[in-house]
Amino acid sequence: DGGITQSPKYLFRKEGQNVTLSCEQNLNHDAMYWYRQDPGQGLRLIYYSQIVNDFQKGDIAEGYSVSREKKESFPLTVTSAQKNPTAFYLCASSFAGGLGEQYFGPGTRLTVT
């Protein structure tokens, strides 16, 4: 089955620790995205990548980092510099052209205490 996987579903960390969220897709999509969702908010774009070995900052990139070494994978690291890391994180992917509709993974709920 083609799709997007995110792991783990729930993640707990102590303040001051970096944590990496996994995102893998087997849809042969060119572009991948990371979003953050907070209660009462829409989705806010953290980082995106349209091709391997290249990525750009979204609207709220501070305190986050990414890599895109393979087409299928786009891990997100939440660093200790992120002031309010507790949130729901969604990964998405799409083809670069045309409608470019994005398909989403199941998300990771990160709690930092």
Residues that bind another protein (CB under 8 A): 33, 40-43, 45, 48, 56, 58, 88, 90, 92, 96-97, 99-104, 106-107
Q: Which is nearer to another protein, 16 or 97 (CB)?
A: 97
Shortest distance, CB of residue 112 to another protein, whole angstroms? 18
Shortest distance, CB of residue 113 to another protein, whole angstroms? 21
Shortest distance, CB of residue 16 to another protein, whole angstroms? 27
Q: Which is nearer to another protein, 65 or 103 (CB)?
A: 103
Query: What are the DSSP calls for the chain, one per residue?
Result: ---EEEE-SEEEE-TT--EEEEEEE-S--SEEEEEEE-TT--EEEEEEEEETTEEEE-TT-TTEEE--SBTTB--EEE-TT-S---EEEEEEEE-SSTT---EE---EEEEE-
Q: Which is nearer to another protein, 82 or 93 (CB)?
A: 93
Contacts of 102 (CB under 8 A, 6+ apart): 33, 92, 93, 94
Shortest distance, CB of residue 81 to another protein, whole angstroms? 23
Q: Which is nearer to another protein, 85 or 105 (CB)?
A: 105
